Chains A and B, each alone.
Chain A
Amino acid sequence: MLRVKNINTYYGQVHALKNISLHLNEGEIVTLIGANGAGKTTILNSLSGITPPRDGEILFEGRPVAGLSPDCIVDMGISQVPEGRQVFKDFSVEDNLELGAYLRYRKREKKSVIRKDIEDVFELFPQLSGRRNQMAGTLSGGEQQMLAIGRALMARPKVLLLDEPSMGLAPLVVQEIFRVITDLRDQRSTAVLLVEQNARAALKIADRGYVLETGKVMLEENAYDLLENKDVQRAYLGRDKKEIWER
Chain B
Amino acid sequence: MAHQILQYMLSGLSTGAIYSLIGIGFAIIYNSTGIINFAQGEFVMLGGMLTYVFLALFDFPLPAAMGLAVVLTTAVGVVFERLAIRPLRNATPLSLVIITIGGSILIRGIAMLQFGKDTHAIPAFSSNEPLTLAGATVLPQHLWILGITLCIIAVNRFFFFHTINGKAMRACSHNRRAASLVGIGVKRMVLISFAISSAMGSVAGIITAPLTMTSYDVGIMLGLKGFCAAIIGGMSSGIGTVFGGLLLGVLESLGAGLISSGYKDAIAFIILLLILFIRPQGLFRKAETERV
Q: Which residue in chain A gives the minimum CB-CB distance to B187?
A: A69
CA distance A49 to B183 in the complex (A): 11
Q: Does A164 contact B (CB under 8 A)?
A: no
Contact B184–A102 (Cβ < 8 Å)? yes
B-facing mask of A15-55, CB < 8 A → 1, else 0?
00000000000000000000000000000000011100000
CB within 8 Å of A: which of B240-292?
288-292
Q: Does A100 contact B (CB under 8 A)?
A: yes
User: Using a Cβ–Cβ cut-off of 8 Å, how many residues does chain A contribute to the interface with B?
Assistant: 35
Contact B181–A48 (Cβ < 8 Å)? yes
Inside 8 A of B180's CB, which chain A residues have their CB? 49-50, 69-71
Contact B174–A99 (Cβ < 8 Å)? no
A-B contact count (CB 8 A): 85
Contact A74–B181 (Cβ < 8 Å)? yes
Contact A89–B181 (Cβ < 8 Å)? no
Q: Does B167 contact A (CB under 8 A)?
A: yes
Inside 8 A of A82's CB, which chain B residues have their CB? 177-178, 181
CB within 8 Å of A: which of B195-226?
none
Q: Does A208 contact B (CB under 8 A)?
A: no
Q: Which residue in chain B gives the minimum CB-CB distance to A70?
A: B180
Residues A102 and B290 in contact in the complex (CB < 8 Å), given A90-B174, A91-B171: no
- Within 8 Å by CB of B182, from A50, A90, A100, A139, lies A100
Distance in Å: Cβ of A151 to nearest Cβ of chain B: 6
Distance in Å: Cβ of B173 to nearest Cβ of chain A: 10
Q: Does A9 contact B (CB under 8 A)?
A: no
- Within 8 Å by CB of B184, from A80, A95, A99, lies A99
Distance in Å: Cβ of A226 to nearest Cβ of chain B: 28
- Within 8 Å by CB of B289, from A75, A137, A141, lies A137
Contact B178–A71 (Cβ < 8 Å)? no
User: Using a Cβ–Cβ cut-off of 8 Å, how many residues does chain B contribute to the interface with A?
Assistant: 23
Q: Does A125 contact B (CB under 8 A)?
A: no
Inside 8 A of A237's CB, which chain B residues have their CB? none
Contact B291–A91 (Cβ < 8 Å)? no
Inside 8 A of A95's CB, which chain B residues have their CB? 167
Q: Does A112 contact B (CB under 8 A)?
A: no
Q: Does A98 contact B (CB under 8 A)?
A: yes
Q: Does B1 contact A (CB under 8 A)?
A: no
CA distance A69 to B181 in the complex (A): 10
Contact A99–B292 (Cβ < 8 Å)? no
CA distance A152 to B180 in the complex (A): 11
Residues A71 and B167 in contact in the complex (CB < 8 Å), given A88-B178, A137-B291: no
B-facing mask of A162-187, CB < 8 A → 1, else 0?
00000000000000000000000000
Q: Which residue in chain B gives the minimum CB-CB distance to A97?
A: B182
Distance in Å: Cβ of A145 to nearest Cβ of chain B: 12
Inside 8 A of A103's CB, which chain B residues have their CB? 183
Q: Does A13 contact B (CB under 8 A)?
A: no
Residues A105 and B182 in contact in the complex (CB < 8 Å), given A86-B177, A88-B175, A135-B289: no
Contact B182–A74 (Cβ < 8 Å)? yes
Residues A50 and B177 in contact in the complex (CB < 8 Å), given A71-B185, A91-B167: yes
Contact A138–B291 (Cβ < 8 Å)? yes
Q: Does B192 contact A (CB under 8 A)?
A: no
Residues A140 and B174 in contact in the complex (CB < 8 Å), given A82-B181, A91-B167: no
A-B contact pairs, 19 of them (CB 8 A): A69-B187, A70-B181, A71-B180, A71-B183, A71-B186, A74-B182, A79-B181, A80-B181, A86-B177, A91-B167, A99-B164, A99-B167, A99-B184, A102-B183, A102-B184, A103-B183, A137-B288, A137-B291, A155-B183
- 19 further A-B contacts with Cβ under 8 Å, apart from A79-B182, A88-B170, A89-B174, are A48-B181, A49-B180, A74-B182, A82-B178, A82-B181, A86-B175, A86-B178, A88-B175, A89-B290, A90-B289, A91-B171, A99-B164, A99-B167, A99-B184, A100-B182, A102-B168, A137-B289, A151-B182, A154-B182
